[in-house]
Structure 1
Amino acid sequence: MKIFLTGGTGFIGSHFINQAHEAGHEIVAHRRAPESRSRIPLCREPQWLDKSIDSLAPADFTGCEVLVHLAAHSANVPYDTLENCIRQNVLAPLAMFRAASGAGLKRFVVAGSCFEYGRSGERHEFIPPDAGLEPVSSYPASKAAASVAFHSLACEEKLELLILRIFQVFGEGELETRFWPSLRKAALAGEDFPMSPGLQVRDFINVTEVAAGFVKALERKDLRPGEPVIENLGSGNPRSLIEFAKAEWHNLGATGKLLPGAVPMRANEVMRFVPVV
């Protein structure tokens, strides 16, 4: 299968490229600039296409059978403004989807975010995919708006659409300032690790499992034109942040100490994100 991919140099996208190539697929991978580098070593380079998402034309999708949209703007704190997030995560991808649809492409597999659920996550022990969307900051709000917009487009244009809302992904290639890479860096250096009290409950899933979920979605037989599907992508194993930290600290053979409570909670922190998977 020939895939058009966005976000190929990103954290999840790099793993997806390796797994999709291993499964025998061909990839045309969009990137913003030729100097962009993948987060992990690639076993084989895709065919790179260097241009802005909203300038893509139908000819760029020639021969492709599925569009996998993993690219995201401002996915890590501090988030960009709501206006810029909407522009980059909703309006630009919509232009791309229309160009792809104009080329005859009918299947779209999109990365969503658990943070789209926002405050509604705290009202569910396990969040169903049809739970209300109540995001509390700019990036999650733009992803929620994108879900609604892509859903509408799929219905109007009779496209096959699958949105996979990813839960607490971690692993090799993750941005160094995020929780797990920061924890690992301190553990391997023999340093103490200051953190919040760690009472947040999350569904932690390794990036290799996330990439595998997207590869599996490429050839699903249950997707129907004009009938979008939204699913959660998690491990099914909820843990508090402190429980996760203690387990990883032990696995890494850390000699320093975890210091829960040394860092304040983030403003508007949602305390529970656990999915129905």
Structure 2
Amino acid sequence: MTGGRVLVTGATGLIGRHLAAPLAARGYEVVALSRKGGGLTGDLLADPEGVAERAGASHLIHLAWHDAPTARMTAAENLDWTVASLRLLRAFARHGGQRAVMVGSCAEYDWRGAGHLTEDAPLTPQSPYGAAKAATGLAAMGLAPALGLSLVWARPFFLYGPGEPPGRLFGDIIKGVSAGRPVDCTDGLQRRDFLHAADVAGALAHLLASDATGAVNIGSGQAIEVRAMIGELARQMGREDLIRLGARPRPKDDPAVIEAGITRLAATGFRPHYDLKTGISAVLTAEKAHA
């Protein structure tokens, strides 16, 4: 299922900025919506109907969400985005939409369990953000057949990439190390499933062109210690001496392992482009280019 006109919301975000190339490679005409200007104009919270009507798209990748870096997990605005996302989906179907990929989060799952999370793991989110994403996904998947839509609810795990805003791991480390300042980190023993933002975007484009439906995790399938990511980043920057592991305490309820079960994603034929070393190298190359 390739080709057509695809509306991309959140097109200039950490993932969205990487979507144009893989979508174009599959023959899609991209209509980008972003609050930062360019492309399609419109207020998704206030007027999702108008956005869908003006886009006139047969396909949708919906990434836009409340993105305040310090309060994203707890902000009441998460509820606004649940409402706006479902209104957009209904309007998209009303104006000729056929196929949608909407983006949820691994924060929908119960992180207090075994740590390896498949799509049928319990949805017991521990944050307002996770709860809002879970509610949106359940409603979207439940309503898609009645709306005449083929729909994937994608759940990315932990991602990294160039241009991270303050409050994210890579962005804070790169900024601190570049300034020659010591960077306080936790012990980094917690294990997380990381994927480069460009690979997450590639997975979304791949899923859009596939015949997959329902919930699909997006991750590497192999969690690694956070300290390994931090160490490789600092090594490639030549300043391992500035990383202070253990200088910051980990939250008392910080899960030991969060890892994606990726059987459904792998079954579609998707394979990520980057491994740990090449992904970090790509981030640093992009950061230098935009310095």
What TM-score results when the alignment is normalised by the length of structure 2?
A: 0.81
**SS of the residue 1:235 aligns to:** coil
Tell me which of 5, 12, 30 is aligned to 2:8: 5
- Note closer, same or farther for the CA distance 1:202–1:81 as it changes in structure 2 (3 Å cut): closer
The structure 1 segments of at least 4 consecutive aligned residues displaced by more than 6 Å after TM superposition are none
Displacement of 1:185 in angstroms is 2.1
8 A contact 2:93–2:148 mirrored in 1: no
Structure 2 residue aligned with 1:234: 219
**SS of the residue 2:19 aligns to:** helix
Displacement of 1:22 in angstroms is 4.9
Tell me which of 38, 53, 63 is aligned to 1:59: 53
**SS of the residue 1:232 aligns to:** strand
8 A contact 2:222–2:260 mirrored in 1: no
8 A contact 1:197–1:261 mirrored in 2: yes
Which stretch of the first structure deviates more once superposed, 74-83 or 194-203?
74-83
Displacement of 1:184 in angstroms is 1.7
**SS of the residue 1:79 aligns to:** coil
8 A contact 1:75–1:139 mirrored in 2: no
- Give the counterpart letter for 2:48 in structure 1: L
Please tell me the root mean square deviation across aligned C-alpha atoms, in Å: 2.1
8 A contact 1:66–1:107 mirrored in 2: yes
Which stretch of the first structure deviates more once superposed, 52-61 or 94-103?
52-61
Displacement of 1:267 in angstroms is 6.2
1:240-263 C-alpha deviation (Å, 9 max, x unpaired)? 111221122112211533212212
Structure 2 residues not aligned, in runs of 5+: 263-291
Tell me which of 102, 110, 113 is aligned to 2:94: 102
Structure 1 residue aligned with 2:278: none
The 5-angstrom pairing of residues 123-272 of structure 1 reads 123-220=113-210, 222-223=211-212, 228-266=213-251, 268-272=253-257
Partner Cα distance (1:74, 1:201) in 2: 24
Amino-acid identity (%): 28
What TM-score results when the alignment is normalised by the length of structure 1?
A: 0.84
Partner Cα distance (2:5, 2:145) in 1: 24
8 A contact 1:187–1:256 mirrored in 2: no
Displacement of 1:26 in angstroms is 1.3
Structure 2 residue aligned with 1:93: 85
Partner Cα distance (1:76, 1:213) in 2: 24
Partner Cα distance (1:136, 1:112) in 2: 15
8 A contact 2:231–2:240 mirrored in 1: no
8 A contact 1:187–1:253 mirrored in 2: no
Displacement of 1:100 in angstroms is 0.8
Structure 1 residue aligned with 2:258: 273
- Note closer, same or farther for the CA distance 1:50–1:172 as it changes in structure 2 (3 Å cut): same
Displacement of 1:23 in angstroms is 4.5
- Give the counterpart letter for 1:269 in structure 2: D
Structure 1 residues not aligned, in runs of 5+: 38-44
Partner Cα distance (1:7, 1:74) in 2: 10
- Give the counterpart letter for 2:53 in structure 1: A
- Note closer, same or farther for the CA distance 1:158–1:59 as it changes in structure 2 (3 Å cut): closer
8 A contact 1:53–1:96 mirrored in 2: no
8 A contact 2:73–2:130 mirrored in 1: no
8 A contact 1:191–1:255 mirrored in 2: no
8 A contact 1:121–1:274 mirrored in 2: no
**SS of the residue 1:256 aligns to:** helix
Partner Cα distance (1:80, 1:229) in 2: 24
